[in-house]
Amino acid sequence: MSEPGSGGESLLFLTDEQLRKGIEAMFFAYRGFTADPDRILDGMDYGRAHHRALHFIHRAPGTTVNNLLNILGVTKQSLNRVLRTLLDDGLVESRVGKQDKRERHLFLTAKGAELERTLSDAQRARMRTAYRAAGPVAVQGFRQVLEAMMDPEMKRQYLALKEGGA
Amino acid sequence: MSEPGSGGESLLFLTDEQLRKGIEAMFFAYRGFTADPDRILDGMDYGRAHHRALHFIHRAPGTTVNNLLNILGVTKQSLNRVLRTLLDDGLVESRVGKQDKRERHLFLTAKGAELERTLSDAQRARMRTAYRAAGPVAVQGFRQVLEAMMDPEMKRQYLALKEGGA
DNA sequence: CTTGGAAAGTCAACAAGGCTGACGTAACTT
DNA sequence: AAGTTACGTCAGCCTTGTTGACTTTCCAAG
């Protein structure tokens, strides 16, 4: 039985108790993760769904509606409701595709980019504080565990975004 | 300007780009985190809110409604709707407090404990796979960053639970 | 012992953001 | 010419969150 400190790998970090703590940490941390943007959006006519759309359009300018649908993991009807308001309010611009005229390519307007920046600044500020407090080694572990937690398809999406932005 | 590899602490892990990757990792990982219980609950008459209630009642048997309210961070009306169905369906039992008879202490019934176990088994299985893949050092970092990401009040709740269960 | 306030429960109404199903149009593909 | 894909939209539904108002019960302080 692998004894802790005996030189072999201790498996004590895989006990149900440790796993439960990890689960609860995810629950409480995710609340903090979304708290700042939520606070900013509260009072505007937008919500978390608008934030997500803005984020990924910012990340992948010119993305198609279908692509965004896959990334966000919602139905087109659900996305459409959100996208509709962003388009009407002039935060997002939709351009007909040049190769394929069925596709719509999405871009942030100056106004949209401004709101995106406000939201992501707030979210990054918390992230930065947490990163700084935990240190670079912890951050690497953080990312490793999160990646291992994703569904394969989600991980594919995540890595595709990472490459594009690197 | 702190040069990477110059012996001092590199701060490259605090760049906006690194922070953005962390943000996206949280987004995609949380989807994976909730996917398995959601799948199980889909088709039953319960949802994620029921899962959360079951989890924390299991964790802290005899907890009061008010306490649960604080942990979950929702209004009593919202919790009541969920709790109502769990009580009616005999998954949760509510006992009048002995000291303070205004309080209701919540417990899982055998049936409730069974569903809770089914759900948490699924969630732990994914967690265990992720932990094993990333290794103990990564897991420690994972937990450190998550704790640093919580609001102070949430962190208090989280730590209180941890102590109780340790 | 009365009174103030806390804990709990409930009713009603509403909003955000998911979902399904159905349908229409334009444009690409075979 | 027919089939498929991308997008938009109408209609309706569900879950889970919110506020506000009101009641009952009961503890604790005056």
In chain B, the DSSP E strands lie at 63-64, 92-96, 104-108
Cβ-defined contact of B149 to A137 (cutoff 8 Å): no
pLDDT at B165 over 70: no
Domain boundaries in chain B? 37-123
Contact between A134 and B8 (Cβ < 8 Å)? no
Q: Sorting pLDDT into bands at 50, 70 and 90, what band is B164? A: low
A84 closest-nt by C1' vs CA: D8
Look up the protein residue whose alpha carbon has the minimum distance to the C1' of D20. Answer: B77
CA-CA-CA-CA torsion sign (A78, A116, A25, A165): positive
Nearest to A139 among B128, B145, B161 (CB): B145
| Arithmetic mean of pLDDT over chain A | 93
Task: Over range A99-121, report the average pLDDT.
Answer: 97
With CA atoms as reference, report the closest residue to A141 among A7, A6, A8, A13.
A13
Contact between A92 and A109 (Cβ < 8 Å)? yes
Contact between B95 and B107 (Cβ < 8 Å)? yes
| Disruptive mutation site among A10, A72, A146, A153 for chain B (greatest number of B CBs within 10 Å) | A146
Q: Which CATH number fits domain A12-134: 1.20.1560.10, 3.40.718.10, 1.10.10.10, 1.10.3720.10?
A: 1.10.10.10
| CATH-assigned architecture of domain B37-123 | Orthogonal Bundle (1.10)
Over the stretch B12-45, which tens digit does the pLDDT of each residue have? 899 999 999 999 999 999 999 999 999 999 989 9
**Is A48 an 8 Å CB contact of chain B?**
no
With CA atoms as reference, report the closest residue to B140 among A28, A36, A161, A141.
A141
B84 closest-nt by C1' vs CA: C9
Angle CA B136–B140–B144, to nearest 5: 170
pLDDT value, residue A43: 83
In B, residues 79-118, which contact A (CB 8 Å cutoff)? none
Cβ-defined contact of A124 to B149 (cutoff 8 Å): no
pLDDT value, residue B19: 97
Neighbours of B108 (CB within 10 A): 20
